[in-house]
Every structure is written in structure tokens, then in C-alpha cells.
Amino acid sequence: MASVISTKGRHALKIMLALSEREGWVPLTDIAERQGVSRKNLEQVVSLLVRAGFVEGQRGKGGGYRLTREPEEYTLGSIIRVAQRGSLAPVECLDCGCGELCPRADDCSTLPLWTELGRLISGFLDSKTLADLLVQPSPA
């Protein structure tokens, strides 16, 4: 089973956090170097963030990316959902994106567990903002 938070979801949080820590336009190359992630991987994620209106980009010298709103206006859940194309489902059978459950849902004794876990994960991530990450101490 894949993890609930994909690599794209984690990269989206890293990009948004890096942009919230600095003023002005931040080159993606700077973020890639600071995070130890390839620029190519970050380009895929930042394009999703731009399409969602979470960040804006400027080309050319002195360009880069910046947030379109204040850090407290972004929930962590919304950022991750943009990068993961809408889902925080803990298991694949809840992640079809079609509004329907697995064909075996009526006979699945674990479905209530996964459904409740999905609500808890979403509730937790939707209760935290990007600003909350700014005030946390860095791990030693």
C-alpha cells in the first residue's frame, strides 16, 4: 500500500514552507538545493500549486515563485490534496475519486476503520496551517 502522503504531497509542503519563510520571489533552484530535491521533481509539483492559485510565478532574472496569500490561509490538507489530486485516503479502496466504494464494500469488515482513519487524517491536516509549521522548532 502506498503511504497516505505521497512524495508529491511532501514536496508541496516543502515548497510552500520555503516560500513562506522568505519574502519576494524565490527561485525554484534555491528551494531544490536547500531541500536536497531535484528541480525537475519540484517543477511538477509547483505547476500544480500554480494551477490551484496557491503560488504565482515570474520568469526571468529576479523571478521565481511566491505565495498568493498569507501562510495562515493555507491548510496543510488543502496543499497536500492539490499535489495528490484530491485525495488523502488511507487505502486505495477509498481513493477511486469517483464517489463510489470498492465493489466489496458491503462485505468489508475493515471499511469502517479505514473510513474513520481517513476522516481523522483529513481533520488533523485541515486543522493545521502553513503558519503552524513556521512556529515549530526544527528537529535537532
Tell me how far apart the alpha carbons of residues 24 and 118 are, in angstroms, rounded to a whole number.
Answer: 36
How many residues does the structure list for the chain? 140
| pTM for the whole structure | 0.86
Domain 7-134 has CATH 1.10.10.10: yes
**39-87 residue pLDDT tens:** 999 999 999 999 999 999 999 888 999 999 999 999 999 999 999 988 7
Q: What is the predicted pLDDT for the residue at 99?
A: 52
- The reported pLDDT for the residue numbered 65 is 97
The predicted structure's pLDDT at residue 105: 77
Distances (CA, A) of 37 to 7, 55, 85: 11, 19, 21
pLDDT digits (tens, 9 = 90+) for 77-131: 999 999 998 878 888 777 765 556 677 778 888 888 988 999 999 999 999 999 9
Q: Which of 137, 128, 26, 135 is CA-nearest to residue 79? A: 128
Which of the two residues, 135 and 139, has the higher pLDDT score?
Answer: 135
Place of cell 473510513: 115
Instruction: For residue 30, give the amino acid letter.
Output: D
